[in-house]
Structure formats: C-alpha cells, structure tokens
Structure 1
Amino acid sequence: MKIEYVKAHVLRHLPQKFRWNEEIAPRHLQHVLLRIGTDEGHEGLCLTYLLPPGEIEGAIEGYREYLVGQDPHDIEAITSKLTSGYRIPSAAASTVDICLWDLLGKHHNEPVYRLLGAARKRIKAYASTFMYDTVQEYVDLAHECYEQGFRAFKLHAFGVPDKDIEVCKAVHKEFAGKMDLMLDPVNAYDRLGAMKVGKVLEDLDFYWYEAPIADADLIGLQDLARTFRIPITAAESVTEGLREYPKYLVNNAVDSVRTVGDWIGGISAMKKIAALCDCFNAKFEPHSYGTTLIQAAHLHVMLAIHNCDFFEIPVPQGVLDLGMQDVIRCGKDGYVDAPTKPGLGYDVDWDKIKALTVKEL
C-alpha cells in the first residue's frame, strides 16, 4: 500500500463564535479537511480548526512531495520526520498523523483503538462548555446536559476568580452529588487568584482543577498541587514537543497531564505521553474539544489506555459536528461507546463537505 495523493478542503467558517474566557476574544473557527489516499482506494481523513488555511496552503506541496509513495504503515517514521523527532509539533503534522491512523484502520478493517491495543470499549464523558455571559446560562446548560445523560460537567467560565467562584457555586448547588464538576479557566489566573478559587473548589469537592495558571509557571503549579487535595491538571498549552512533559511529572507539578493531540503530534504522540504518565502513576487526560474526527482521534487513544478517566464532548452537543454523517454522543448512562466502523469510525457527509468548501487544494 502506497500513498497516492494528499488533498485538502478549506471550509467556510461556522456562524457560531467561540470564546473560553474573558481574556480570549470571540472568534469564528475555520476548518480544514485533510485527505490522504492510497493506491488501494483507502482514504484517511482529519477535519480540524487548529490547522489554519494559510498553513496548509503553504505546506501541502511539501507534504505531497514527502508523503506520496510512502507506505502508511511507516507512520512512526513519517510523524517523527514531520515533527523533528516530536520536538517541533504542528497542527499540520498532527493532522497528517491522524489521517494515517484512519488509513491504517480502514486498510485493516479495524477501529484505530484496536490497532493501538484495546484497553476497554467505553469511557465516561463530560460536557465541556464555552464561555457564556451569565451564571444562569451555565446552570441552564448543565440541566440540559444532565437530561442528555452527562454525569460530568466542565466549566469554561469567565477567567476572573470572583466571577468563576460564583458560577461554580451556582452549578454545584444544583448538581452536587449528581455530576462530577470541573473548572478550566484556561490559564487565566495569577497565583493568588488560583489559590482563592482552588480553596472554594476543594470545599465544593470538584473533580479536578484545570489550567488555573500559565503552564509555564512550574513553581506555581507545584504550589497548587501541594496545597490542594483536588487534582491539578495542566500542560495543554505546551508547544515545544514531547520533551517538555517530563518536568511536570518529575517536579510533582500536576496530578494529570493535559495535551492537545491535534497539535502535539496526533495519535502517535498521545500514546507516548500516556505511557510517560503511566510510568509516574499519573493520569493522562487529553482534551478532545474539536470536530467529530478530532474527538474520535482522542477517543481511540483513551480506549487504548487505562490511565484516563474522561472523554470531553463540546456542548451544546453538535456545535462542532460540521460535515458529518456520523457523530459522537453521550449515552443516557453517561458513557461513550467505542466506534465499530474501521479507522476513526465516523463517516463524513460529502454533500455537506462540498457545500461548505470554499477552496480545494
């Protein structure tokens, strides 16, 4: 099996604007669909908003030159080359890696998690919000998610300590004992603000406290991890590659590691980080906030490891399902089941993709 072509679709941006705290300006998300096909008729796909149209336009000819003629089974060699040994990750290289795993699954007629080595067939899901304007909107959304089956709920609130405390208390009042609760201020606090919020979250028995301060503030994270019983999870914004992760574990700065698979090196990189965490008896809790295919890429890794508790689903459900025939949903028991189709396991709707496409590369 040899790679025969590399193609991309630049899609029209979504009408919905996204924001995850008050420091982040509301923005539209524009997506790119990457397609890598083989001489045997299989095609690997990945649809992401982390790959800017300008980046893929500049990179695609070089990727064609490198990838065409290669065997997708050589995925470790390919991804290592594209990331300089996982030291210089990028959305483009990560998207290629995910496409290749999708290809391999389709070639072998198996879901990707089985190729990785299946550990389980389902995982508990949590609802992951974007930022709303009012506390009541968070409470209302939590009710909606609970009715849909979610038994865990993560707040992307305002990124302002006092305002975040207010919304956490309001949601806790309604759902204490009914849903596991998490807070992700997306690195917005300083150390004093993080301590103030952490004390409240510990009193409220939140499940975890995510990205409270800048990921680069290793000493600050150490202080938080020492101070609170509530697990601290961080490192999602690491951009320097896999070799940046050990310091968080060696220095006891986190209880679990976050990462963005569609940036750090795809499925291949996530498996490595999961193994690193396992060596330290630590959790690996990657984000899976993204399109259906990005969610799926993370889901397959989670189903192939034991040290991950939750799968993240953007809510309202469906908000990032553009161009899809199949979608991922939380079941009534709060879990997501493994896909059964080969590859990533979720088919695109080509009529929808055609309607959304503004440029083909």
Structure 2
Amino acid sequence: AQVSTLAVCAVDVALWDLAGKISGLPVHAMIGTFRHKIPVYASSEQHDSVDGYVEQALAVKDAGLHGYKLHPKQHWREDIAACQAVRKAVGDNFNLMLDSRSAYDLGEAVKVGRAIEELGFLWYEDPLPITDIYNYAKLRESMDIPVMATE
C-alpha cells in the first residue's frame, strides 16, 4: 500500500508536537536552534500582469519588509518574465522567492529554476506536483538553489 505524502507530513508534525509537549520544550529548542527576530517577507497573490508583481514588490520593499515571494500564473515562460521584471525593479539586494504551486513538468521546472538561480532568488518552492518525489530529486541534482517542496 502506498502512503500519501500529506499523511506522512501530518504524522511527522504531530510527532514533533507530541515530543515538545512531553518535554515541555518548543520544537525549535528540541532541534537546537531559535531566533529572537526573523526577517519578514510578503507573499503575493496572482496578478493579471507582470506590472502587478512589480508594483507590489516595490511597495513591499518600500514598507521595509525583507523580501517578496511571487505566485505567478503557472506558465513557465510568463513566470520567468515576471521574476526577471521584479528583480530588475527591486535591485539585487532584496530577497526574492518563487512559489510555482506545482505547475511544471521536470523540463519546465529546470528552465525556471535555472533562470531564478541566475537572478539570485533565495528559494524555489513547489515547482513540481507534490507527489513527484523522483523528479524532485532529479531537479535538486541539476541546480544549486534550495528547492522547497511537499508542504
């Protein structure tokens, strides 16, 4: 029988929570790390145009937040164009991330990943369907940008 990735994730979180309750410690303390402050970023909605992402990213930067995560339309060429336009608008010293919401096949995911890697994005989130673990491994081998997946 095959177990759903979502079920495994839910059990993992529940076990960490249980261990924290038993030990009386927050999960971050059990792992051994914590922070007193964290950088904050804004997460976009889907915009009708590239200009919508640019305007929102500039507003986020002007508001003093530390970064901006794009959720583009899920068409790889248009998504790259949106990422390029936002990077150009905010400059090289502002954190950008991409959440593709499981939109691509492996070939498209590699193209987008390489493009945002060149643009200096911090991470690449959910480029492939969440159950495609095999291709996530292949994707990860083909680039250096951190790949976040299977929430």
TM-score by length of 2: 0.78
Q: CA-to-partner distance for each residue in 1:89-112, whole Å, 9 max, x for gaps? A: 49xxx8xx8xxx9xx9xxxxxxxx
Q: 1:202 aligns with which of 117, 135, 140?
A: 117
Gaps spanning 5+ residues in structure 2: where? 1-6
Count of aligned pairs = 132
Once residues 114 and 8 of structure 2 are traced to their aligned partners in structure 1, the CA distance between those partners, rounded to angstroms, is 36
More helix by share: 2
Q: 1:158 aligns with which of 67, 73, 86?
A: 73
| Structure with bigger RCO (C-alpha 8 Å, 6+ apart) | 1
1:216 equivalent in structure 2: 131
**Counterpart amino acid of residue 81 in structure 2:** E
Q: Does 1:146 align with 2:61?
A: yes
Higher-Rg member (1/2): 1
Q: Report if aligned partners of 2:92, 2:120 keep a CA contact under 8 Å in 1.
A: no
Once residues 161 and 207 of structure 1 are traced to their aligned partners in structure 2, the CA distance between those partners, rounded to angstroms, is 18
More strand by share: 1
Once residues 165 and 159 of structure 1 are traced to their aligned partners in structure 2, the CA distance between those partners, rounded to angstroms, is 10
Once residues 57 and 40 of structure 2 are traced to their aligned partners in structure 1, the CA distance between those partners, rounded to angstroms, is 14
Once residues 215 and 89 of structure 1 are traced to their aligned partners in structure 2, the CA distance between those partners, rounded to angstroms, is 14
Once residues 89 and 155 of structure 1 are traced to their aligned partners in structure 2, the CA distance between those partners, rounded to angstroms, is 26
**Counterpart amino acid of residue 51 in structure 2:** Q
Once residues 207 and 89 of structure 1 are traced to their aligned partners in structure 2, the CA distance between those partners, rounded to angstroms, is 26
Q: 2:95 aligns with which of 177, 180, 197?
A: 180
Q: Report if aligned partners of 1:159, 1:186 keep a CA contact under 8 Å in 2.
A: yes
SS at match of 2:39: strand
Q: Report if aligned partners of 1:151, 1:178 keep a CA contact under 8 Å in 2.
A: no
Gaps spanning 5+ residues in structure 1: where? 1-85, 105-113, 237-361
Alignment of 1:65-80 (within 5 A): none
Shift in Å at residue 221 of structure 1? Answer: 0.7
SS at match of 1:158: coil
TM-score by length of 1: 0.34
Q: Indicate how the Cα distance of structure 1 residues 137 and 115 shifts in structure 2: closer, same or farther if over 3 A, else same.
A: same
Once residues 119 and 194 of structure 1 are traced to their aligned partners in structure 2, the CA distance between those partners, rounded to angstroms, is 32
Once residues 194 and 88 of structure 1 are traced to their aligned partners in structure 2, the CA distance between those partners, rounded to angstroms, is 23
- Report sequence identity in percent: 35
Shift in Å at residue 206 of structure 1? Answer: 1.0
Shift in Å at residue 177 of structure 1? Answer: 2.1
Query: What's the C-alpha RMSD, in Å, of the aligned pairs?
Result: 2.5
1:332 equivalent in structure 2: none
Shift in Å at residue 162 of structure 1? Answer: 0.6
Q: Indicate how the Cα distance of structure 1 residues 88 and 187 shifts in structure 2: closer, same or farther if over 3 A, else same.
A: closer
Moved over 6 A (4+): none
